[in-house]
Amino acid sequence: MKSKIAAMSKTSRDNFKTYAMVLIVYVVVMIFQAAGLVSSQMSGLLVPLCVYATMAVSLNLVVGILGELSLGHAGFMCVGAFAGAFFSKITENSMGTFPRFFLAIVIGGLVAGIFGFLIGIPVLRLNGDYLAIVTLAFGEIIKNIMNVLYVGQDASGLHFSMTSATDLNMDGATGNLIINGPQGITGTPFDSTFTAGIIILMISLIVVLNLMNSRDGRAIMSIRDNHIAAESVGINITKYKMTAFTISAVIAGCAGSLYAHNLASLIATPARFGYNMSIMFLVFVVLGGIGSMRGSIIAATILTLLPEILRFMAGYRMLIYSIVLIVIMIVNWNPKSRAWLAEHNLSRFLFKKHHEKKEVK
Amino acid sequence: MKKMQKFISLALAVVMTAGLLAGCGSTSAGTSAATTSGASASGSTFKIGGIGPLTGTAAVYGTAVKNAAQIAVDEVNAAGGINGSQVELKFEDDELDAEKSVNAYNTLKDWGMQMLVGSVTSACSIAVSEKTKADSMFQITPSGSAADCVKYDNVFRVCFSDPNQGVASADYIADNKVATKVAVIYDSSDVYSSGIYQKFDAEAKTKNLSIVSAEAFTGDSKTDFSAQLQKAKDAGADLVFLPIYYTEASIILTQANSMGYAPKFFGCDGLDGILAMKNFDTKLAEGVMLLTPFAADATDELTQKFVAAYKKAYTDTPNQFAADAYDAIYAIKAAAEAGKVTPSMKTSEMCTAMEKAMTTITLTGLTGTITWTADGEPSKTPKAVEIKDGAYVSMK
């Protein structure tokens, strides 16, 4: 009993540290900003940092807690971004900034959640590499649908087309093209702020960390650890897999909506919202430690800042970035550094899952 | 056992904060200047920033702009600068990504940028124009061709807009009775290509041109066009309109040739560069018509001087992106001289003066004789050229 309480308080202490880290960074940045000490480069990066940290938390829920590899997370972010931006565009003149932005975030999350649920139905029947490949395909499908989607608004309502803008047959005088195929959405209002980003990051952290320590969370983790054993004790695998996957999609959608309100042009290009981006999120998660939310937030922050800080190196920037990435990965995975980490009991988060998977196979 | 973990997380937190501080420290001079008065830090040189993709799939365009802008700046400096002040150019990479483009803009602002040449591509340019508008900084994009790029008063462009090219192409084909049945092959994932196609389609309808097939491809699948060509052939098109870049066009020409399909081909400024392509049989491009503001083998003195300088410095033939960038720098020079702009002015004052002056100047540049309207659009006549014996020949 005593040890249980100790263990519980240790987790809550650990969670508290994660919240504190985010809040301290927020307060420090706000103080610096008030004092005019933050460069425009840094202040421009604040919202993207929140977006990527939230995405890392979202993907870590699927990869670290549910134990399934999703390579389509950029797709959920894309859906959230387009849904949120679309909502803001059509209500730009009829709503105040705050309620509009709040609803845009909620809608971004909801729409992505619906997509996550629908995609989850076929996808979650699979596991392992098969699931990874199917999520990759869904991510690409979402990106490509966004590229052929034309939506316009005029006096008679909304018009949709999958072929071209001229097929919308809009009334010329009042017609307003909102989603213009590959040109995406332009002119989304700038509603995202660092504070909003931190709030979204904190909410997703609270949701995910509390889920981890709840009955449902333990059920999800038991599926990760051994799904046959989990099933044998009566855990509804589909239900819990679906819960984790949908929550993760909702968080990704909120992050996407936040992203969309920080840029005037939203386009689903292969680099942006393609599988490259999904892989980037996976790198955040793996680098920060599979299952460790704090780690993935830190990794997302470092890896987003690094290429920008390295700008002074001009042409060598991306090279140095890659080298740094390789070095960090080697330090994490090299047998010697692993042994060192194991010695200090740090390998817990990184290698637990890997180890167990081997056993199952 | 937890100690080490604590230590690591603390260390990482320190690194992160250090990163934030480093970002502030190295650039605090520029920031404080920008936040307090908006005046330039140095006061004696013009600081012009440039943004474009220097890495990634579109690196060739960004690099061309960077190189040509540098040539123009060097020439301007050698000739005594703008209003007696030297010009400094700093170019940042945006990886063809709107978010990175805004990051690049913020970085340049910390450096003390007073005027911006960029971004090279449309989406990035649109994203950045929101920021230049908010900061009232003068922006001229060499090649951001989407309509929304010049939505704000402080933004001008050198290239033709996409709608402009689409309309001009349709008009040219219809008015000169080049063809009646037209097929289009375009890149639906590309802003430039689909932007031209949309307007071409609309204009063709009013001009009674019949578009018998309009086939799209995407950036993910641009190596095989036999399906699109077969459809165009089956539909009986006697002209194929290619509002795309020359790399894909070269594949289309090669595949059309191998399937024995020989319609007329008509393209826009994106086709410029096809003759300089490696491993491409230029005989296949015989008879291809294109609307382009710039031809590297033109015989006028200005072009020849520029091409020679570019080849000497970068051992490469400049394309139209380079020409647009070169003209952008000279447009800044002309407008700054007309508006009597000095480096010691505030960025916003400079912007107001430049905005006014831009509409008064007439620039004889590489891409034609250009004047600007207050809405940021250049007015210059598109030149239609036909490829004959491996060279551009002007058409009527």
Q: Would the pLDDT of B1 be above 60?
A: no
A267 vs B89, more confident: B89
Q: Would the pLDDT of B304 be above 60?
A: yes
* Predicted pLDDT at B164: 85
Asked if residues A44 and A226 have their Cβ atoms less than 8 Å apart, the reply is: no
DSSP state of B160: P
Nearest to A265 among B110, B123, B214 (CB): B123
Does the beta-carbon distance from A345 to B34 stay under 8 Å? Answer: no
CA pair distance B20, B109, nearest whole angstrom:
17
Q: Is B75 on the interface with A (CB under 8 A)?
A: no
pLDDT band at A322 (very low <50, low <70, confident <90, very high): confident
* Predicted pLDDT at B161: 87
Q: Does residue B389 form part of some domain?
A: no
Averaged pLDDT, B330-344: 93
Q: What tokens appear for B383 in the block?
A: 């030149």
* Nearest chain B Cα distance for residue A238, angstroms: 34
Can you list the alpha helix ranges (DSSP code H) found in B315-393? 320-338, 347-358
Does the beta-carbon distance from B5 to A345 stay under 8 Å? Answer: yes
Strand partners, A68: none
Give all strands (DSSP E) within B77-193, no chain letters: 86-93, 115-117, 138-141, 155-157, 181-187
- For residue B1, list chain A residues with Cβ-Cβ distance below 8 A: 344-345
* Predicted pLDDT at B44: 84
pLDDT band at B96 (very low <50, low <70, confident <90, very high): confident
Q: Would the pLDDT of B27 be above 70?
A: no
Q: Is B29 on the interface with A (CB under 8 A)?
A: no
* Predicted pLDDT at B31: 37
Q: Is B96 on the interface with A (CB under 8 A)?
A: yes
CA pair distance B196, B169, nearest whole angstrom:
9
Write out the DSSP string of B263-306. Answer: -EEEE-GGGTTGGG-TT--GGGGTT-EEEES--TT--SHHHHHH
Does the beta-carbon distance from A40 to B23 stay under 8 Å? Answer: no
- Give the three-state DSSP class for B156: strand
* Predicted pLDDT at B102: 94
- For residue B129, list chain A residues with Cβ-Cβ distance below 8 A: 264
Does the beta-carbon distance from B218 to A317 stay under 8 Å? Answer: no
Does the beta-carbon distance from A42 to B20 stay under 8 Å? Answer: yes
Q: Which domain holds residue A192?
A: 2-360
Q: Would the pLDDT of A18 be above 80?
A: yes
Averaged pLDDT, A180-190: 87
Averaged pLDDT, B13-28: 43
Name residues whose C-beta falls within 8 Å of residue B44's C-beta, 6 or more positions apart in sequence: B85, B86, B343, B344
- For residue B15, list chain A residues with Cβ-Cβ distance below 8 A: 302
Lowest mean pLDDT among A82-91, A143-152, A203-212, A246-255: A143-152
Total domains, chain A: 1
Question: What CATH number should be reported for the domain holding residue A277?
Answer: 1.10.3470
* Nearest chain B Cα distance for residue A108, angstroms: 19
* Predicted pLDDT at B16: 47
**A–B interface: beta-carbon pairs under 8 A:** 166
pLDDT band at B362 (very low <50, low <70, confident <90, very high): very high
pLDDT band at B3 (very low <50, low <70, confident <90, very high): low
Strand partners, A151: A160, A179
Q: What tokens appear for B140 in the block?
A: 């001229």
What is the SS3 assignment for B213-259?
Answer: EEEEECCCCCCCCHHHHHHHHHCCCCEEEECCCHHHHHHHHHHHHHC
* Predicted pLDDT at B117: 95
CA pair distance B68, B64, nearest whole angstrom:
6
pLDDT band at B36 (very low <50, low <70, confident <90, very high): very low
Averaged pLDDT, B140-160: 91
pLDDT band at B33 (very low <50, low <70, confident <90, very high): very low
User: Quick one: B241 and B348 in the same domain?
Assistant: no
* Predicted pLDDT at B274: 81
Averaged pLDDT, B332-339: 94
Chain B stretch 211-240, residues whose beta carbon is closer than 8 A to a beta carbon of chain A: 214, 218-220
Chain B stretch 76-95, residues whose beta carbon is closer than 8 A to a beta carbon of chain A: 92-93, 95
Q: Does residue B386 form part of some domain?
A: no
Q: Would the pLDDT of A58 be above 60?
A: yes
* Predicted pLDDT at B386: 86
User: Quick one: B169 and B230 in the same domain?
Assistant: yes
Q: Would the pLDDT of B39 be above 50?
A: no
Does the beta-carbon distance from A346 to B4 stay under 8 Å? Answer: yes
CA pair distance A69, A132, nearest whole angstrom:
5
CA pair distance A320, B130, nearest whole angstrom:
31
Does the beta-carbon distance from A269 to B35 stay under 8 Å? Answer: no
CA pair distance A251, A106, nearest whole angstrom:
10
* Predicted pLDDT at A172: 67
Q: Which domain holds residue B79?
A: 35-159+301-380
Q: Decide: residue A155, CB within 10 A, 0-12 exposed, 13-18 middle, 19+ buried.
A: exposed
Does the beta-carbon distance from A28 to B16 stay under 8 Å? Answer: no
Q: Would the pLDDT of A163 be above 80?
A: no
**pLDDT tens by residue, A196-220:** 999 999 999 999 999 999 999 999 9
* Predicted pLDDT at B356: 92
- For residue A269, list chain B residues with Cβ-Cβ distance below 8 A: 96-97, 123, 189, 219
User: Quick one: B329 and B255 in the same domain?
Assistant: no
Lowest mean pLDDT among A325-329, B133-137, B295-299, B383-387: B295-299
Lowest mean pLDDT among A138-152, B67-81, B169-183, B266-280: B266-280
Q: Does residue B10 form part of some domain?
A: no
* Predicted pLDDT at A352: 45
pLDDT band at A51 (very low <50, low <70, confident <90, very high): very high
Mean pLDDT for all residues in chain B: 84
* Nearest chain B Cα distance for residue A264, angstroms: 5
- For residue A190, list chain B residues with Cβ-Cβ distance below 8 A: 130
Nearest to B106 among A32, A40, A147 (CB): A40
* Predicted pLDDT at A251: 97
* Nearest chain A Cα distance for residue B123, angstroms: 6
Q: Does residue B288 form part of some domain?
A: yes
Q: Would the pLDDT of B30 be above 60?
A: no
Q: Is B9 on the interface with A (CB under 8 A)?
A: yes
* Nearest chain B Cα distance for residue A72, angstroms: 17
Does the beta-carbon distance from B103 to A41 stay under 8 Å? Answer: yes
Residue of B nearest to A347 (CA): B5
What are the distances in angstroms from CA B213 to CA A10, A19, B162, B240, B324?
A: 67, 58, 21, 9, 32
**pLDDT tens by residue, B272-297:** 778 877 788 888 888 899 888 887 77
pLDDT band at B157 (very low <50, low <70, confident <90, very high): very high
Mean pLDDT for all residues in chain A: 87
Chain B stretch 112-131, residues whose beta carbon is closer than 8 A to a beta carbon of chain A: 122-124, 126-127, 129-130
Q: Does residue B387 form part of some domain?
A: no
Does the beta-carbon distance from B97 to A346 stay under 8 Å? Answer: no
* Nearest chain A Cα distance for residue B152, angstroms: 12
User: Quick one: B175 and B121 in the same domain?
Assistant: no
pLDDT band at A361 (very low <50, low <70, confident <90, very high): very low
Does the beta-carbon distance from A38 to B31 stay under 8 Å? Answer: yes
B41 vs B296, more confident: B296
Total domains, chain B: 2
What are the distances in angstroms from CA B168 to CA B190, B268, B348?
A: 20, 10, 36
In residues, how long is chain A? 361
Strand partners, B372: B378
- Is it true that the peptide bond before B119 is cis, omega within 30 degrees of 0? yes
User: Quick one: B50 and B150 in the same domain?
Assistant: yes
Query: What is the ipTM metric for this complex?
Result: 0.85
Nearest to B191 among A38, A183, A314 (CB): A183
Averaged pLDDT, B36-45: 53
Does the beta-carbon distance from B191 to A32 stay under 8 Å? Answer: no
User: Quick one: B305 and B361 in the same domain?
Assistant: yes
User: Quick one: B82 and B125 in the same domain?
Assistant: yes
Q: Would the pLDDT of B191 be above 90?
A: no
- Give the three-state DSSP class for A218: helix
* Nearest chain B Cα distance for residue A139, angstroms: 14
* Nearest chain A Cα distance for residue B25, angstroms: 8
Averaged pLDDT, A40-62: 95
| Final residue belonging to a domain, choices B255, B274, B292 | B292
* Predicted pLDDT at A360: 39
Name residues whose C-beta falls within 8 Å of residue B176's C-beta, 6 or more positions apart in sequence: B396
Nearest to B198 among A144, A165, A266 (CB): A165
Residue of B nearest to A310 (CA): B23
